[in-house]
């Protein structure tokens, strides 16, 4: 019998009374390893009520004590790092090494949240007018929420609730229904770290549960990561209901290769960044743009990617695992077929891939196209699979035009030995996160994750200083204290401070 995933409400793991359950399958075998409930209306209301009550006291807890909870939490996450990674690998299909990276990048955000006292500091100016001082405080919003995707079930929840809670809020987490076991373990460890009852709630489910979060008037802020259509829906419905929303959406990340780049470094980095994690990263390189004579390296790139072999999470020789579901596999293979029909040259074909001993896995082999142009659906679609599209242009300006004309702006990179070319690219490219001789430029948590254009809906981004601003309000105080022997002045009839 498969495991029933519990809800986490009011400081307790509880068995849902739902009549609707979602199977959680191992992508390498199709075995049902757990079932996640669709939380009932009363269960969701209970979570909000608990979060409301906990906020009354949690917001008054000294910021240094909140920081110490995060310090204990990051220590526990490090202690259980490999255990979490194994859970994650089994329910997502990621290789063990990739799963460990997922967990570690989340731990880094928790470490950042442990610095919350300095991040919450306000501003002060003395004597803004005669004997008048102004200063500001950063205060929590209230109940916040997060809706997370399947592809990073440790990192992305840890982007959200540690920062929000450290800032003095309470939080409702709605993890992906496709891999809820990893977030459950994260919450168990958070409880062990000494988090008070009610500061974190976990609800499972589908669209109805998401809509509850979007519509509930007491939930002040919402963070979401997912596809463009859903992100647009989340942002529109959430903001219409008066919520502060950050919605991270799709991507089509380009890597520009100049002819003066180090060829072997280009090949090594393109292999990992394009098909690593089965291409199921919003920062994966899905388009390689070869400039001028660099196009001569394309056959070697295809040859290197063709050698990559997917496999099970515990196969030390596997480069990546299966895609998340049979539906995802079918969609990816359909795009590959359409790419052929559009006239792109299929250099490496990953369709109908099999792994010995695992005939039912959602396997898609490494795939490479050349001759891809911006008018092709192959180029326009966020494939979210191990598929690299290769385009050729004559100049850096041509490459910039291609990248800037793309509706997405999540990440991009350039490989070059020229400081001038790199400077021109980073300055002129209309993309939020830029790598120079680095293929996947995901910033560390003391910066913010800054996708642009249709890759992000909202104003303030995840983690870093922007996340602290997202989860807080600023209160500004203007104060004057009168001394008893100061002669009273007449009324001030203007807005000007005197």
Cβ atoms of 319 and 276 within 8 Å: the answer is yes
Q: How far apart, in whole angstroms, are the C-alpha atoms of residue 311 and residue 62?
A: 48
Q: How far apart, in whole angstroms, are the C-alpha atoms of residue 339 and residue 331?
A: 12
DSSP state of 215: H
Q: Which is nearest to 208 in space by CA: 336, 361, 18, 60?
A: 18
Cβ atoms of 462 and 246 within 8 Å: the answer is yes
Structure-block tokens of residue 318: 């596997």
Looking up tokens 């326009």 gives: 380
Q: How far apart, in whole angstroms, are the C-alpha atoms of residue 368 and residue 365?
A: 10
Taking CA atoms, 114 is separated from 110, 163, 317, 445, 464, in Å, by: 6, 8, 37, 12, 12
Q: How do the pLDDT tens digits run along the chain, 498 residues long?
A: 679 999 999 999 999 999 999 999 999 999 999 999 999 999 999 999 999 999 999 999 999 999 999 999 999 999 999 999 999 999 999 999 999 999 999 999 999 999 999 999 999 999 999 889 999 999 999 999 999 999 999 999 999 999 999 999 999 999 999 999 999 999 999 999 999 999 999 999 999 999 999 999 999 999 999 999 999 999 999 999 999 999 999 999 999 999 999 999 999 999 999 999 999 999 999 999 999 999 999 999 999 999 999 999 999 999 999 999 999 999 999 999 999 999 999 999 999 999 999 999 999 999 999 999 999 999 999 999 999 999 999 999 999 999 999 999 999 999 999 999 999 999 999 999 999 999 999 999 999 999 999 999 999 999 999 999 999 999 999 999 988 665 566 777 777 676
Q: How far apart, in whole angstroms, are the C-alpha atoms of residue 437 and residue 269?
A: 9
Is 282 considered catalytic here? yes
Q: Which is nearest to 446 in space by CA: 146, 115, 124, 178?
A: 115
What secondary structure does DSSP assign to 378-414, as a single string?
HHHS---SSEEEEEEESSHHHHHHHHHHSSEESEEEE
Query: Could you give the strand order of the β-sheet that contains 253-257, starting from the edge strand earlier in sequence?
Result: 345-348, 367-370, 387-393, 285-291, 253-257, 411-415, 433-436
The whole-number pLDDT of residue 6 equals 98
Structure-block tokens of residue 477: 């105080």
H-helix or E-strand containing 48? Answer: helix 41-58
The separation between the first and the last C-alpha atoms of the chain, rounded to the nearest angstrom, is 75
3-state secondary structure 109-152: HHHHHCCHHHHCCCCEEEEEECCEEEEEEEEECCEEEEECCCCC
Helices (H), 217-372: 228-240, 263-275, 298-306, 326-342
- Determine how many CB atoms are found less than 10 A away from the CB of residue 352: 9
């Amino acid at each position: 019998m498969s495991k029933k995933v519990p809800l986490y409400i009011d400081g307790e793991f509880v068995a849902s009374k739902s009549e609707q359950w979602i199977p959680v399958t191992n992508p390498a075998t199709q075995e049902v390893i757990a079932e996640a409930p669709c939380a009932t209306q009363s269960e969701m209301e209970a979570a909000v009520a608990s979060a409301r009550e906990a906020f009354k006291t949690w917001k008054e807890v000294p910021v240094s004590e909140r920081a110490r909870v995060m310090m204990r939490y990051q220590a526990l996450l490090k202690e259980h790092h490999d255990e979490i990674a194994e859970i994650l690998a089994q329910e997502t299909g990621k290789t063990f090494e990739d799963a460990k990276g997922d967990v570690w990048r989340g731990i880094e955000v928790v470490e950042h949240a442990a610095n919350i006292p300095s991040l919450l500091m306000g501003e002060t100016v003395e004597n803004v007018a005669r004997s008048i001082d102004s200063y500001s405080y950063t205060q929590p919003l209230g109940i916040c929420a997060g809706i997370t995707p399947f592809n990073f079930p440790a990192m992305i929840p840890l982007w959200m609730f540690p920062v929000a809670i450290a800032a003095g809020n309470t939080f409702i987490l709605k993890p992906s229904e496709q891999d809820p076991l990893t977030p459950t373990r994260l919450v168990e460890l958070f409880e062990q770290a000494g988090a008070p009852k009610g500061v974190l709630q976990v609800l499972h489910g589908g669209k109805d549960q998401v809509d509850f979060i979007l519509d509930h008037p007491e939930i002040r802020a919402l963070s979401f990561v997912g596809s463009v259509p859903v992100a647009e829906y989340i942002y529109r419905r959430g903001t219409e209901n008066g919520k502060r929303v950050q919605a991270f959406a799709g991507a089509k990340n380009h890597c520009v290769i100049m002819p003066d780049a180090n060829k072997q470094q280009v090949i090594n980095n393109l292999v990992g960044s394009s098909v690593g994690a089965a291409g199921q990263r919003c920062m994966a390189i899905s388009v390689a743009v070869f400039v001028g004579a660099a196009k001569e390296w394309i056959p070697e790139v295809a040859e290197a990617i063709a050698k990559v072999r997917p496999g099970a999470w515990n196969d030390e020789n596997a480069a990546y695992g299966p895609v998340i579901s049979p539906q995802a596999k079918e969609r990816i293979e359909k795009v590959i077929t359409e790419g052929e029909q559009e006239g792109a040259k299929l250099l490496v074909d990953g369709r109908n891939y099999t792994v010995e001993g695992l005939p039912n896995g959602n396997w898609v082999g490494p795939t490479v196209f050349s001759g891809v142009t911006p008018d092709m659906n192959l180029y326009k679609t966020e494939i979210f699979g191990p598929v690299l599209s290769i385009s050729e242009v004559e100049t850096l300006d041509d490459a910039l035009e291609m990248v800037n004309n793309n509706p997405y702006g999540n990440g991009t990179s350039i490989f070059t030995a020229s400081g001038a070319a790199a400077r021109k690219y980073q300055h002129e490219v209309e993309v939020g996160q830029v790598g120079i001789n680095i293929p996947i430029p995901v910033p560390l948590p003391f910066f913010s994750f800054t996708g642009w254009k249709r890759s992000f809906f909202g104003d303030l981004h995840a983690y870093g200083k922007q996340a602290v601003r997202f989860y807080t309000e600023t209160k500004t105080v203007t104060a004057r204290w009168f001394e008893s022997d100061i002669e009273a002045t007449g009324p001030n009839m203007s807005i000007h401070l005197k």
